[in-house]
């Protein structure tokens, strides 16, 4: 528990995009996008107060680390050496960095302005089981084109896997309802099948002729529960290996479109994978508007390395291991288009 209330930061760009964050978890609390008709649309799920975030386990809006997503059997493997990490989420595995991951840390606000904030965090050797001290910074910056840039940097004192991301849930509709009515495209021809505990089976699979084919825009509802793979997570909660063109950020990793077509969002990233989670376990999470969210109230689009990558060096992506003397640098850019 933290003794003092979180510090809130309010960013606003000249084109009217606004973003509210807090230092606890370097968390996004609210994002409002101006539409051409003069209205503003809230696009993030959020709790009614900063204190209420402690009442949810959905990682709403949080910065995730040291390693996003799941590590099977709570272990990592490097150069033949297996290192245990701390399990959590009531399982033998580790999820999103462990029971005291970066989403639960008070980040330092190193600098801030009307359009930018720079958070920093130090993570000790052995923190949640991870080797080496890690120093990281996350810059969140509003652009002049209805955009949000996130820039991640990290350094370590011993070889360690690093995978930092943001875990916001998006709903671009005017009246947030079932987000499966959104259209989504993902620039990926392969996805990662998982077992019933959502741990990767070890091989990539083609999206062709499956419900995981989002190469052309479609609603999430269209092929909902079409595949046996979706039974594992009661819907979509899978990683997609992004097409190589995405790495240079010329091609969006994903495009999400509101059901009324008045608002869309492009996600660009240098990271090799995208976890798409349709929010089917959001039931009961305290909602900003009062009451609680229902299942599938929002969609998480989390750029990252493939889950369990520290144990799968054979996968066709850059190494997720950061070595002393190297600098982890990755970007996630969000661009909204309003009508």
Q: What is the pLDDT of residue 1?
A: 55
| 113 vs 109: CA distance, rounded Å | 11
What CA–CA distances, in Å, run from 114 to 14, 111, 153, 300?
A: 10, 11, 22, 26
Which pLDDT does position 339 carry in this prediction?
86
Q: How far apart are CA 320 and CA 265, in angstroms?
A: 27
Task: Report helix, strand or coil for 204.
Answer: coil
Tens of pLDDT, residue by residue over 166-181, are 999 999 998 879 999 9
pLDDT (0 to 100) of residue 203: 96
Answer yes or no: are the C-beta atoms of 333 and 269 closer than 8 Å. Answer: yes
Burial 104-122 (b: 16+ CB within 10 A, else e): bbbbebeebeebebbbbbe
Is 2 one of the annotated active-site residues of the chain?
Answer: no
In a structure prediction context, what are the per-residue pLDDT tens digits for the chain, which is 339 residues long? 567 999 999 999 999 999 999 999 999 999 999 999 899 999 999 999 999 998 899 999 999 999 999 999 999 999 999 999 999 999 999 999 999 999 999 999 999 999 999 999 999 999 999 999 999 999 999 998 999 999 999 999 999 999 999 999 999 998 879 999 999 999 999 999 999 999 999 999 999 999 999 999 999 999 999 999 999 889 999 999 999 999 999 999 999 999 999 999 999 999 999 999 999 999 999 999 899 999 999 999 999 999 999 999 999 999 999 999 999 999 999 999 998
**pLDDT tens digits for 49-95?**
999 998 899 999 999 999 999 999 999 999 999 999 999 999 999 99
* Residue of 78, 167, 312, 333 with catalytic role: 167
| Of 267, 254, 269, residue with least CA distance to 152 | 269
Q: Say how many Å lie between the first and final Cα of the chain, rounded.
A: 43
C-alpha to C-alpha distance for 167 and 62, rounded to whole angstroms: 5
Q: Which residues of 54-84 are buried (b: 16+ CB within 10 A; e: fewer)?
A: eebebbbbbbbbbbbbbbbbbbbebeeeebe
* Residue 302 a catalytic site member: yes
pTM over 0.85: yes
Q: Which pLDDT score, from 0 to 100, does residue 3 have?
A: 77
CA 288 to chain centre: 20
DSSP tally for the chain: helices H, then strands E: 1, 27
Residue 31 burial (10 A CB sphere; 0-12, 13-18, 19+): buried
- For every residue of 32-84, which 3-state class applies, written as one string? EEECCCCCEEECECCCCCHHHHHHCCCCCCCEECCECCEEHHHEEEECCEEEE
Q: Are 88 and 95 in contact (CB under 8 A)?
A: yes
Give the active site residue among 42, 182, 302, 330.
Answer: 302
Question: Is the distance from CB of 282 to CB of 304 less than 8 angstroms?
Answer: no
User: C-alpha angle with apex 253: 72 to 189, nearest 5 degrees?
Assistant: 70
Say if domain 8-338 classifies as CATH 3.40.50.2300: no
Please report which residue ranges of the chain form alpha helices under DSSP H.
Answer: 228-232
Distance of CA 142 to the CA centre of its chain: 18
Quote the pLDDT of residue 233. Answer: 86
């Amino acid at each position: 528990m933290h003794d003092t209330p979180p510090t809130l930061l309010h960013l606003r760009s000249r084109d009217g995009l606004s973003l509210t964050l807090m230092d606890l978890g370097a968390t996004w609390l609210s994002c409002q996008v101006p539409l051409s008709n003069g209205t503003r649309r809230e696009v993030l799920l959020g709790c009614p107060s900063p204190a209420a975030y402690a009442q949810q386990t959905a990682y709403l809006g949080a910065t995730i680390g040291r390693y996003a997503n799941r590590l099977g059997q709570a272990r990592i493997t490097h150069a033949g050496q297996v290192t245990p990490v701390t399990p959590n989420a009531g399982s033998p595995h580790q999820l999103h960095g462990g029971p005291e991951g970066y989403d639960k840390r008070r980040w330092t606000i190193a600098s801030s302005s009307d359009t930018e904030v720079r958070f920093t965090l130090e993570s000790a050797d052995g923190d949640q089981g991870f080797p080496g001290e890690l120093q990281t910074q996350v810059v969140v910056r509003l652009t002049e084109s209805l955009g949000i840039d996130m820039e991640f940097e990290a350094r370590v004192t011993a070889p360690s896997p690093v995978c930092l991301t943001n875990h916001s849930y998006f709903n671009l509709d005017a009246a947030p309802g079932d987000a499966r009515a959104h259209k989504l495209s993902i620039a990926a021809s392969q996805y990662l099948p998982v077992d019933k505990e959502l741990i990767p089976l070890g091989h990539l699979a083609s999206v062709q002729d499956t419900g995981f084919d989002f190469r052309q825009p479609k609603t999430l509802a269209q092929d909902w529960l079409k595949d046996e793979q979706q039974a594992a997570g009661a819907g979509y909660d899978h990683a997609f290996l992004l097409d190589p063109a995405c790495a240079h950020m010329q091609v969006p990793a994903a495009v999400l479109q509101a059901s009324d077509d008045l608002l869309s969002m492009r996600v660009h990233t240098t990271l090799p994978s995208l976890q798409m989670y349709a929010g089917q376990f959001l039931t009961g999470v305290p909602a900003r508007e009062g009451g609680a969210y229902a299942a599938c109230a929002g969609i998480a689009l989390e750029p990252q390395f493939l889950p369990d990558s520290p144990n799968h060096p054979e996968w066709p992506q850059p190494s997720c291991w950061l070595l002393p003397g190297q600098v982890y640098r990755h970007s996630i850019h969000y661009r909204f288009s309003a009508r």
